């Protein structure tokens, strides 16, 4: 199986074994554009890229995936109730 198909399959298997009812309940937070963001997007999941080295500016990041520069910045977005990847986050 090609890598492009394998990574989303891993996310889908995790959903299956976790018992999560809806893909909309999941938010993947990762620092790998390819493995985390593309994998999550390929499985229909919401994602946030922790982009410590400004990689998103150099590569194509899906429009629905907001990049943040640190986990602290992500947490600030969450506590402010900002929209992240189309999901309104609550403090």
Domain ranges across the chain: 3-88
- Tell me the average confidence (pLDDT) per consecutive run of 10 residues in the chain, 91 residues long: 65 88 85 86 86 66 75 77 49 38
Q: What is the pLDDT of residue 42?
A: 86
Q: Name the burial class of residue 85, with classes exposed (0-12), middle (13-18) and buried (19+) by CB atoms within 10 angstroms of its CB.
A: buried
Q: What is the pLDDT of residue 80?
A: 65
- In CATH terms, is domain 3-88 a member of 3.40.50.1000? yes
Strand partners, 48: 29
Q: What is the pLDDT of residue 37?
A: 86
Smallest Cα–Cα separation from 75: which of 85, 89, 61?
89
Q: What is the pLDDT of residue 6?
A: 63
């Amino acid at each position: 199986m090609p890598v492009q198909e394998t990574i989303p399959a891993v996310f889908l298997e995790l959903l299956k074994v976790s018992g999560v009812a809806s893909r909309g309940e999941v938010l993947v937070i990762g620092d790998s554009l390819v493995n985390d963001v593309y994998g999550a997007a390929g499985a229909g999941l919401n994602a946030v890229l922790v982009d410590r080295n400004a990689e998103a500016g150099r590569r194509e990041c899906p429009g629905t995936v907001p990049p943040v520069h640190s986990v602290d910045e992500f947490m600030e977005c969450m506590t402010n109730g900002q929209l992240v990847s189309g999901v309104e986050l609550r403090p």
